[in-house]
Structure 1
Amino acid sequence: MAFGVVAASLSRAPSIVTTRGCYVTRASLPNKSLKFSKEYNWKHNSRSIFERGSTITTCEKHDEKKYLMNVTQSHEAEPHSQTILKSIVHALDAFRKFSRFYAFIAMVVGSLSTSLLAVDNLTELYPTFFNGFLQCMAAYFFMHLYIVGINQLADLEIDKINKPYLPLASGNYSFRTAVITVTSFLFTGFGIAWMIGSKPLLWTIFASFVLMTAYSVNLPLLRWKKSTILTVMGNTLSMVISFNLGPFYHMKTHVLKKAATFPRSLLFAVVVMSMYYIVIALTKDIPDIEGDKEAGLQTLAVRLGPKTVFWSSVLLLEMAYGAAIIIGASSPFLWSKIFVVLSHAIMALFVWYRSTLVDLSNKDSLQAFYMLIFKLFSVENILMLFVR
């Protein structure tokens, strides 16, 4: 009979679970926290209730504990999976910032365009060609990671001012971890080039290593970024070798098994793209004047000011388009002559118009123009395929 009374009371809402002088309503078990609130029932005839409730105390406690465990686990499983997903996304975003992926994309586009210059006819575009190009890009990828990594290690204090969003400057990567990772990238790049067995590729990797290490590392006779002349020379020479000469002779001699030549299209690539490389080397320092001043780096932007360097860079771009128009106009093929001249005239007008919209006092505006140069660089690599 006592059990019947308790069972009847449990069937009504909100149900009461009696547990040794306290009661817990199921309504008091919220979805997430599920806290028991103890209240002593002194206003009722507690003795009879306690005695009758004691017959189900053990079973009811077991059921409530089981209920609590199930609900808690169901709510903890989702946040745990979300935490893992957020950690993965955060790690990928940090690696994206560390790798400066936009620069590698420019390298891929430039190398592919130059590699296509090594092809004499479309019948040579068979799987061996693309396999050779992918091998080249695998070695380039790890060498690129080494170059951006060693530069961030050497510029750690400067980047805390100029680029605090970078993972090493922001503290997402520890210095020790970055050193180990960057070193592994270097050996991996050399290892891939060695296994491929291409002499032009191996020499390209070696030249990039020497030039960009000398540019970044703060050792006697090194740290070329302190000098404007050495900065422009080192960056331009490294990019000409990596983007143009290296891929061309790797594809020509190692992949296609042909004799080394220096065609008109390669001359166009070296002359015109060299001006792009100089502009990239100059404009990349304009948004970083504040940090470079504190570090004592006498870049051209620090010495002459952002306005002078900016308009000098724009003038160099216009000169590059002028050289492209002259080389294109001397082509023996009419279709090539018309296309190259017209396309570069349009590019020259666009660059001049876009440069007039830049706010030289705004760091974001200067950075946007710097990123525009990489887009123009990619377009130019496509246009040079039509030079004959």
Structure 2
Amino acid sequence: MELSLSHSSLGISAVNPHCKASSCQPKAIPSKLNGKLLDLSFKCFKNGVSVGLYSQSSCSKHVPTRQFKRNSIWACSQVGAAGSDPMLNKISTFKDACWRFLRPHTIRGTALGSVALVARALIENSNLIKWSLLLKAFSGLIALICGNGYIVGINQIYDIGIDKVNKPYLPIAAGDLSVQSAWLLVIFFAVTGLLIVGYNFGPFITSLYSLGLFLGTIYSVPPFRMKRFPIAAFLIIAMVRGFLLNFGVYYATRAALGLPFQWSAPVAFITTFVTLFALVIAITKDLPDVEGDRKFQISTLATKLGVRNIAFLGSGLLLVNYIAAVLAAIYLPQAFRRGLMIPAHIFLALCLIFQAWVLEQANYTKEAISGFYRFIWNLFYADWSQDNGAKT
């Protein structure tokens, strides 16, 4: 396939012995083709060199091979995009907006936590495992994701103005998802989640699930809008993401196995550990949003006490969590794997100290604060991934 230049357009012609002239018409590339590719073509014609779109020529000495291939692929993608179906483009755009609307980082935390607790309950009672439980566990995970989607979605609907300042990439604030579509999504999530839980897990778990939806609602929706009050706000987040999630999932799993609820040392520790971790997330989540919160007069601990103080508070609480994990492994060797739990939490604590130092050195810029908050979530995932070192 060779490039040819004219005064008005840049065309592609294919030399293929199996191609008939009537069916192989050259396709025009829009005049907005990458400037680097156009410069490359002029240089090659100047030197009397024919440029192959998918092969390297002697002209490649003027342009790095990797850059040349990237520009070539870009050109081909433009040809494909020019002839693509507008309806498919709309569907693809809507799917992307819905995914961002769900806040994927919160889904990962919900999924990891629920899977870890279900696995723990099943391993503790491996003789009661049935294949039929797999479908029930999967439906429970879908219900949790629906509940998560409702809570983060209703928050975005009522925070459009704030998000345009703090999180302009979110789909409603960016104009990629209409408010009407967002309402349809959150109603769908709430109804679907309640139906799944009510049909599969009985009245007690359904009441816990409804409580989580209620707390998520009053957190964002006027006239309650509890996010305006720092203490109430982070207590709600810690309750929903910490205690209700862990207690509810473990209770539901034991009920599915035909067992009464019973605390064990590992599960009690995990629930306490994650509840405190969720409290830290609730405290630090407002760090990147100080500018918008101040503009819209949203009172948070970060706006009241300052970014630096809240960063130190969150780091200090997490360090307490990690010290407690190490002490639990030392004093309860029958319940925890010392060889995993102690070194893992010491390492994570050192990483946290280093990131707090990096944030201090960066003088608490918005980019550094956002990076620090993302790191807190990565610590959360890391703790769930190694299941806190509890023995089975």
Contact 1:235/1:281, CA 8 A, preserved across alignment: yes
Aligned residues between the structures: 316
CA distance in 2 between partners of 1:121 and 1:377 (Å):
26
Amino acid in the other structure paired with 2:175: G
- Alignment-derived partner of residue 114 in structure 2: 111
CA distance, structure 2, for counterparts of residue 269 and residue 78 of structure 1: 49
CA distance in 2, matches of 1:100, 1:360: 28
Q: Which residue number in structure 2 is paired with residue 355 of structure 1?
A: 356
- Matched with 2:228 is 226
Structure 1 residue 266: deviation in Å?
Answer: 1.3
Q: Pick closer, same or farther for the CA change 1:172–1:382 going to 2, 3 Å.
A: closer
Structure 2: distance between partners of 1:335 and 1:197: 30
C-alpha contact 1:321 1:344 (8 A) present in aligned 2: yes
Partner of 1:240: 242
Match of 1:252 in 2: 254
CA apart distance, 1:293: 0.6
How far has the Cα of 1:295 moved from its partner? 1.1
Structure 2 counterparts to residues 1-388 of structure 1, below 5 A: 79-81=82-84, 83-119=86-122, 120-219=124-223, 222-253=224-255, 255-333=256-334, 336-358=337-359, 359-384=362-387, 386-388=389-391
Task: Extract structure 1 runs of 4+ deviating beyond 6 A.
Answer: none
The TM-score normalised by the length of structure 2 is: 0.75
Separation in 2, partners of 1:112, 1:189:
17
Gaps of 5+ in 2: 1-24, 30-78
Distance 1:125 1:356, change over 3 A: farther
Change (3 A) 1:337 1:234: same
Amino acid at match of 1:103: T
Compute the displacement of 1:31 (Å).
6.3
Letter in 1 for 2:148: H
SS of 2:299's equivalent in the other structure is: coil
Quick check: 1:143–1:189 contact (8 Å CA) kept in 2? Answer: yes
Maintained 8 Å contact 2:302/2:310: yes
CA distance in 2, matches of 1:383, 1:202: 29
Change (3 A) 1:116 1:77: closer
Please give the TM-score of this superposition, normalised by the length of structure 1. Answer: 0.76
Shift of 1:113: 1.1
Secondary structure of residue in 2 paired with 1:118: helix
| Rounded Cα–Cα distance in structure 2 between residues aligned with 1:189 and 1:166 | 23
Q: CA deviation at 1:146?
A: 0.9
Shift of 1:98: 0.9
Deviation at 1:211, TM superposition (A): 0.9
Identity %: 26
- Residues 1:354 and 1:176: Cα distance change in structure 2 (over 3 Å): same
Supply the AA of the counterpart residue of 1:213.
T
Structure 1 residue 160: Cα displacement: 1.2
> Given that residues 215 and 234 in structure 1 are in contact (C-alpha distance below 8 angstroms), is that contact kept between their aligned partners in structure 2?
yes
**Alpha-carbon deviation of 1:183?**
1.6
Structure 1 residue 204, shift from structure 2 partner: 2.9
Q: Report the aligned-residue RMSD.
A: 2.4
SS at match of 1:260: coil
- Per-residue deviation, 1:156: 1.2
CA spacing shift, 1:171–1:31, aligned 2, 3 Å: closer
Change (3 A) 1:257 1:158: same
In 2, Cα distance between equivalents of 1:342 and 1:160? 42
1:385 CA drift (Å): 5.2
Letter in 2 for 1:160: K
Q: 1:357 is paired with a residue of what secondary structure?
A: helix
Contact 1:98/1:166 (CA < 8 Å) preserved in 2?
yes
Partner residue in 1 for 2:3: none
Counterpart of 1:182, as a letter, is V
Corresponding position of 1:65: none
Query: Deviation of residue 241 (structure 1)?
Result: 3.5
Q: Distance in 2 between the 1:335 and 1:246 partners?
A: 22
User: AA paired with 1:94?
Assistant: A
